Structure formats: C-alpha cells, structure tokens
Amino acid sequence: MKKLINKVEDVVKEQVEGLCLAHPELMLSEDPCFVYRKADNDSVALVSGGGSGHEPMHAGFIGEGMLRAACPGQVFTSPTPDQMFECGKAVNTVKGVLLLIKNYTGDVLNFETAVELLHFEDIPVGSVTIDDDVAVKDSLYTAGRRGVGATVLIEKIVGAAAQRGDDLGQLEVLARDLNNKSRSFGVALDACMVPAAGKTSFDLADDEIEFGVGIHGEPGIERRKTCDVQSLVADMLKELLENTGYSRTLRTWNRKEGSWDEVEAQVEDFTAGDELIVMVNGMGATPASELYGAYREVYKGLEAAGFKVARNLIGNYCTALNMEGFSVTLLKADEEALKLWDAPVNAPSLRWGK
C-alpha cells in the first residue's frame, strides 16, 4: 500500500489536525473528535458528519454560509454518538442544532442516538436524512437509498438559509424538500485503497466499470464493459431521469413529543422545463479535465431533454479516497434555492487560499 500517511491508526487524527493547522479558524476537539467554528451570529448550527474518506466533505465545508461543525468517523466508519452529542453541545446557540445524516445504517443509528441525547439536554435539535442515490434501493451498508453527492448541495443551500437566520423548523422543511428534489448516480472506473485494509476495496478488470457504485465502493446495478463517456453519461442520465414515482418512509424527530415519527415522503419527478443544479463530482482520482469532458455530455444530454442547467459544480466534493470515477447529482431548484446557492460561502475547500 502506498499512501501519504504515518501509522494507520493515526490517519484521521493527523489529517484533521492538518486541516485545522491550515485553516486556523477551524477548531479541533480531539476526544471526542469534531471540527467546528465559532458562531458568527445566533443562527442554527448546521452539523454534519460521517465516515472519513470523502473529503472535502464534510469538514472542508465548515464556514460562514455552510456548516458550523463536522464529526469525522474513522475511514468509511460512522462517527460515534458521543462525537455528535459533544459537538452539538459545543456549537448550540439559542436556535438549536440541525444534524444532516447520510443514509447508512450505522450513521443513522448513531446520529439518532445523538439527537435523543441532545434532546435530553434541552437543546433544540432536528435531523434530516439524505438518500439521493437512485442506483440501488438497499445496499451493502444501507436500508433504502444511499446518501451521497446531494449532501454537498443540501449543506450549501441549507447552510445559506441558516446563515440568514431561518429557524430550526424552517431548515428541516427546506432540507427535506431539497432531498426529495435530488438524485445522484455514480460510476467507478477503479477501486479505492482503504488504509486499514491495505488493499483495494474491490477489483475491476482492465475493461470493466462498476455502474451505480456507492461512495465506499459498494456494488451498483451491474459490472459492465467500459465505453465512451458520451454513451456512459447517456445511460446515467436515463437512470437519473426515468426513476419516477418513488416514495419511502423516513424517520423524523418530533421535538414536541421527544420521539420519532415515520413519515412517508415522495421523491419528486423531474420533467422537461425544470431548472437544475448539476454537480459532476470526482470520486478522488479522476482528473479535472475528464470531469469537464463528462460535464459536456451531461449538459448536452440535459438540454436535449428539455432541462435547463441553472448552476453547476464540477470537481472533487464527495469522494471515496482515491477511487477513480465520478457521480452526477441533479437538484431541481426553484428561485429560492438558486438564491441560497448563490449566497456567499467561506469554507476552506470552496474559496481561494487561506
């Protein structure tokens, strides 16, 4: 295994330390581990987290107009409840804390425990689970759909709404609405190498790709032969656009009752004329040039299908260590969402320099 690391057990600790050394406005709690910033006003604290290995998500998105804090687990491993609990206590203001969770069984379990613990401390707390991956319904680590790239877009838009002063209930409604308007689909050309495992997470032949891959290398719809990017994107757009009429039950925290409600939620269908925010996201080892080549196909395909690409984001945002491949996320955006998308953001991974 060739990696820029010291001891495997120190990987996350040292990388987070490096982040905070580079960007001194970020503060580090070592035990339990979380990264946070001072509140610049009394806005709701938006907190996310999950297994490490997806950088810059989430800690690289801490900054005015986006996250207040992030709780990194070990690589591809959920953070523990006490990370989110102590983090929530540290960043709470009078307006409360909103946790954004990617839909993986471990994450959901641990975040939900943290929600309950924060509630018992009389901290106003909410949580929204993101499940945007249309590739598979149940997967290696998930009941339901996986939470992937839309997390980046939702953290940005909801972060802007938090910054302007929206209250906890409004932010929950907004985040759930955005999640219902989001879809992602990923493809791997080559597997990633997990430090603790010391080997690649799966194996692909020289002419094979994983179609519908998750952000930990979980299997997708099928292993298929390589093809040109035009054909590949055409197939991805088909999956993204034709996956209609889908609803699922998501647990939502009832602050008044202090209990979980089971809420049926419908994923919105996409129809010609919709305005979309489009992310072409590198999985870690894909050159920027190829992402732009892929974006060209995505843009042309969407315009040909009658959609309007209103905004775009192209680069490495929701990665899987050094996996080669990319994902496409589409978010159906109204004027309000576009306004929040365009609002200033000052996070280390989304701005110029230190």
So which residues are the catalytic ones?
A: 54, 216
Check binding of 324 to a copy of itself (CB under 8 A).
Answer: yes
In sequence order, what are the beta bridge partners of 280? Answer: 314, 328
| Of residues 56-75, those binding a copy of itself (CB under 8 A) | 56, 60
Judged by CB under 8 A, which stretch of 12-20, 42-50, 90-98, 111-119 contacts a copy of itself?
A: 12-20
Q: Closest distance between a copy of itself and the C-beta of residue 178, in Å? A: 15
Judged by CB under 8 A, which stretch of 92-100, 108-116, 129-137, 295-303 contacts a copy of itself?
A: 295-303
Judged by CB under 8 A, which stretch of 40-48, 51-59, 115-123, 242-250 contacts a copy of itself?
A: 51-59
Check binding of 202 to a copy of itself (CB under 8 A).
Answer: no
| Pair type for strands 97-102 and 45-52 | parallel
Check binding of 295 to a copy of itself (CB under 8 A).
Answer: yes
Task: Give the residue, chosen from 31, 122, 203, 207, that forms a contact with a copy of itself under the rule CB under 8 A.
Answer: 207
| Of residues 158-177, those binding a copy of itself (CB under 8 A) | none
Check binding of 30 to a copy of itself (CB under 8 A).
Answer: no
Task: Give the residue, chosen from 284, 302, 328, 332, that forms a contact with a copy of itself under the rule CB under 8 A.
Answer: 284
Check binding of 228 to a copy of itself (CB under 8 A).
Answer: yes
- Alpha-helical segments (H) within the chain: 11-22, 81-91, 105-120, 150-164, 168-180, 229-241, 288-304, 335-342
Identity at 134, one-letter amino acid code: V
Of 332, 186, 329, nearest in space to 267 by CA: 332
Task: Give the residue, chosen from 89, 244, 254, 292, that forms a contact with a copy of itself under the rule CB under 8 A.
Answer: 292
Check binding of 155 to a copy of itself (CB under 8 A).
Answer: no
| Of residues 236-275, those binding a copy of itself (CB under 8 A) | none
Helix axes 288-304 and 229-241, enclosed angle (nearest 10): 50
Of 98, 78, 87, 239, nearest in space to 157 by CA: 98
C-alpha dist (Å) from residue 231 to 24, 88, 93, 236: 45, 45, 50, 9
Residues 165-190 as b/e (b if ≥16 CB within 10 A, e otherwise) read ebebeebbebbbbbbbbbbbbbbbbb
Task: Give the residue, chosen from 321, 330, 333, 340, that forms a contact with a copy of itself under the rule CB under 8 A.
Answer: 321
Number of residues that bind a copy of itself (CB under 8 A): 66
The neighbour count for residue 285, using CB atoms within 10 Å, is: 19
**Please, are residues 213 and 187 in contact by the beta-carbon 8 Å criterion?**
yes
Rounded-to-integer distance, Cα 354 and Cα 352, Å: 7
For residue 173 the two structure tokens come to: 């409604």
Q: Closest distance between a copy of itself and the C-beta of residue 264, in Å? A: 33
Judged by CB under 8 A, which stretch of 50-58, 93-101, 110-118, 162-170 contacts a copy of itself?
A: 50-58
For residue 92 the two structure tokens come to: 């709470």
Task: Give the residue, chosen from 163, 319, 327, 329, that forms a contact with a copy of itself under the rule CB under 8 A.
Answer: 319
C-alpha dist (Å) from residue 110 to 68, 135, 142, 271: 19, 25, 14, 36
Task: Give the residue, chosen from 232, 237, 241, 276, that forms a contact with a copy of itself under the rule CB under 8 A.
Answer: 232
Helix (H, G, I), strand (E, B) or coil at 242: coil
Check binding of 350 to a copy of itself (CB under 8 A).
Answer: yes
Q: Closest distance between a copy of itself and the C-beta of residue 81, in Å? A: 23
Check binding of 122 to a copy of itself (CB under 8 A).
Answer: no
Q: Is 165 left (phi over 0), alpha (psi -120 to 50) or beta?
A: left
Residues near a copy of itself, by CB under 8 A: 2-7, 11-12, 14-19, 21-22, 52-53, 55-56, 60, 189-190, 206-207, 209, 226, 228-230, 232, 284-296, 299, 311-316, 319, 321-322, 324, 326, 341-342, 344-345, 349-354
